[in-house]
Chains A and B, each alone.
Chain A
Amino acid sequence: MTKKILEIDNIKREFRMGTEIVRALKGINFTVTAGEFVTIMGSSGSGKTTLLNILGCLDKPTSGTYILDGTNVGNQSRNDLARVRNLKIGFVFQAYNLLPRTSALENVELPLFYNKAIGTQERREKAIKALEAVKLAERLDHTPSQLSGGQQQRVAIARALVNEPVMILADEATGNLDTRTSYEIMALMQELNQQGKTIVFVTHEPDIASFSSRTIMLRDGRVQKDYFNENVRSAKEALAALPVTDDY
């Protein structure tokens, strides 16, 4: 039996807005096993951001249990959650969130600074390896302003990979990119997935979802559909199929 990475059991999340109680998540259940590539889809207001925050251990559910890689996250302190994020989750954001005027290498090293077990030498080696994995080995000293959007997102992915997390959590990671670059990023994601990384990808583009092995559709705080993709598109092939234009 493959290892369970995420076990979500009847998760609810309520927000108090003045006197009203907004129920963003109304009981979500699903399990993700190691090596899956899951996209979470839904229109705005479906609760996908709330779910993402909970999956990313940035927020706690009002009720229900969330077990990440065998650890019950629900009863952890603020500091323990920071440690879980550091060791088990690699975030990729829509706006990249790289530190400005800081080299790609140092940006990638950042999560390792908060991991006491790793020394200076090892930190550098790991960061270089992660940048090699996203094919940016020759741009170690470039600052974000010297990199294109796709390259910046690849630095962000390298940063997510560097601490060898059990799961990569991407939040609209292709939202700021054009189609070609989006496909490049998805090709990279698929490659990482084939190497055994578990990926949870939040998006609202069905196009992007077609590259994943499983899709979870949210609607009004509930899981509307949860299905495995019969024929996963290859991002590499999609990229090759794109008409070559020279208008950029």
Chain B
Amino acid sequence: MSIFNLIRLALLALQRNKLRAFLTMLGIIIGVAAVIAMVAIGQGSKESIQSQLGNMGSNMITIMPASNVAGGARLEGSSVQTLTVADVDALKKRATLLSAVSPVSSSRGQAISGALNWPTQLQGGNTDYFDIRKLTLQDGILYSESDVASAAKVCLLGKTVVDNLFPSGENPIGKVIRFNKIPLQVIGTLAPKGVSSFGQDQDDIIVAPYTTIQKRVLATTYLQNILASAVSEDASDAAVDQITSVLRETHRLRATDENNFQVRTMAELIKTLSSTSSLLTILLTAIAGISLVIGGIGIMNIMYVSVTERTREIGLRMSIGARGIDILLQFLVEAIIISITGGLIGVVLGITASEVITLTLGWPTLVSRSSIILSFMVCALTGVFFGYYPAQKASRLDPIEALRYE
């Protein structure tokens, strides 16, 4: 029998039991749709983490004070004051792989404007700070070199701070707010960046020159950390080595001493987070894959029923000249049509489900072509695999007994 006739025959057989064919397909439909949607969620979160981190500055290198030993006791990193402006100057001069270096000073505190107040983070660096952190101006101006030099009492507000201190929508620029009793004049607002992949509101921030924070708020000469930008993402590893050697020298560490600072790159962070979401993708895919196998077992079950039910038909076909292989192909094609049709519907449903998830839950999804091809091929194989045994059973029937079967 030609392949065209086989397909026609299978379609006729399925048409006779539309509801049953559909229910059998449902297993495959759900399996394939689940695989595609799950992979889309996994891939989407991976992609969004990467783009968000890129947004934060993928070349960004953070230098933090490391735990230090004082009188035999190891101290927590943040309580140690090892980074100074001198370090920044040394890096600027000698670390050739860095395009920008900024000291960072920060403090948590209460921002007050008129009757309203808001707990937030005051943070700042030099004029390169905006560039490294990829902060952009919404309105007003950035602070200048001379503001940094003179520790001017100026600041820029993030969107969340603006919303909480100026809820009625008045223009905050030119207004004076207070941060822990220090009056600061608002000279600009920052473009919103949204929530970071760690769940942190990146707009809940006030930016001021680091000198202002150091001298007027914290009254210290040390830095919380130093931010730098590598000339490119590829150069960031080499830049880390350069920073380490420069800082070991300025900190006068002997060869046997531990570093009293640590250097972190964004690339490391991206790798860590991506591996987490890769694991998530694998897990979700495995679960979805199991449902595909269950769908396949459904096909096998129904094909067995179908073979039993049509025993007389098989007997008749054999008596008028069908060979075993003809019967085998007839049932196999039927199983494959069920699984492929189910697969196609599943692909459409999976893509739709991904879109719906993005629209309603706001989760990022990314339907990858490989997941579509893979799940489609798996379900076609499922049809062959689970359809083969019932089809083989049919082809091995004894025509005499099949004809007499009641």
Contact = CB atoms under 8 A, between A and B. Distances in A.
Contact of B319 (A87, A91, A113): A91
Contact of B320 (A100, A101, A114): A114
Contacts of B9: 113
A7 to B, nearest CB: 22
A72 B68 CA distance: 100
B322 interface: yes
Contacts of A101: 16
Contacts of A115: 321
A114 B16 contact: no
Contact of A114 (B313, B322, B399): B322
Interface in B246-269: none
Interface stretch (A76-84, A130-138, A222-230): A76-84
Contacts of B318: 58, 82, 85
A83 B320 CA distance: 9
Contact of A79 (B5, B16, B320, B324): B324
Contact of A97 (B312, B323, B325): B312
B16 to A, nearest CB: 6
Interface string B304-321: 000000001101111111
Interface in B183-203: none
B287 interface: no
Interface footprint category on B:
20 to 34
Contact of A91 (B1, B16, B312, B320): B320
A53 B400 contact: yes
B1 A114 contact: yes
Given A58-B399, A93-B403, A78 B324 contact: yes
B16 A58 contact: no
A102 B317 CA distance: 14
Interface in B2-51: 5, 9, 12, 16
A85 B321 contact: yes
Interface in B147-163: none
Contacts of B322: 82, 86, 114
Interface string B286-306: 000000000000000000000
B321 A111 contact: yes
A159 B320 CA distance: 9
Nearest to A96: B316
Nearest to A52: B400
B237 interface: no
Contacts of B403: 58, 93, 97
B320 to A, nearest CB: 4
B326 A114 contact: yes
Nearest to A85: B321
Given A97-B316, A113-B1, A114-B1, A58 B321 contact: no
A58 B5 CA distance: 25
Interface string B47-87: 00000000000000000000000000000000000000000
B311 to A, nearest CB: 12
A199 B364 CA distance: 74
B321 A114 contact: yes
Find the residue from B16, B312, B318, B399 having the highest chain A CB count within 10 A.
B399
Interface residues of A, number: 25
B308 to A, nearest CB: 16
Nearest to B402: A58
B324 A110 contact: no
A9 interface: no
Nearest to A90: B320
A35 interface: no
Contacts of B399: 58
Given A58-B399, A97-B403, A114-B1, A85 B313 contact: no
Given A82-B321, A159-B320, A113 B5 contact: yes
B98 to A, nearest CB: 77
B393 to A, nearest CB: 16
B320 A99 contact: no
B320 A58 contact: no
A174 B316 CA distance: 18
Contacts of B319: 56, 58, 85, 91
B321 A87 contact: yes
Interface string A139-167: 00000000000000000000100010000
B323 A79 contact: yes
A83 B322 CA distance: 8
B16, B320, B323 — which one has the most chain A CB atoms within 10 A of its CB?
Answer: B320
A59 interface: yes
A111 B1 CA distance: 10
Nearest to A111: B320
A85 B16 contact: no
Nearest to B404: A49
Interface string A56-84: 10110000000000000000001100110
Interface in B84-135: none
Nearest to A77: B323
B41 to A, nearest CB: 44
B323 A110 contact: no
Contacts of B315: 97
Interface in B215-248: none
A96 B5 CA distance: 23
Contacts of B326: 82, 114
Nearest 9 Cβ contacts at the A-B interface: A86-B321, A114-B321, A111-B320, A82-B323, A97-B316, A79-B323, A85-B321, A58-B399, A58-B400
11 contacts: A53-B400, A56-B319, A58-B318, A58-B319, A58-B403, A78-B324, A82-B321, A87-B321, A101-B16, A111-B320, A163-B321
Given A78-B323, A86-B322, 14 more contacts: A59-B400, A78-B324, A79-B324, A79-B325, A82-B323, A83-B323, A93-B316, A97-B316, A97-B403, A101-B16, A111-B321, A114-B1, A114-B323, A115-B321
Interface of A: 53, 56, 58-59, 78-79, 82-83, 85-87, 91, 93, 97, 99-102, 110-111, 113-115, 159, 163
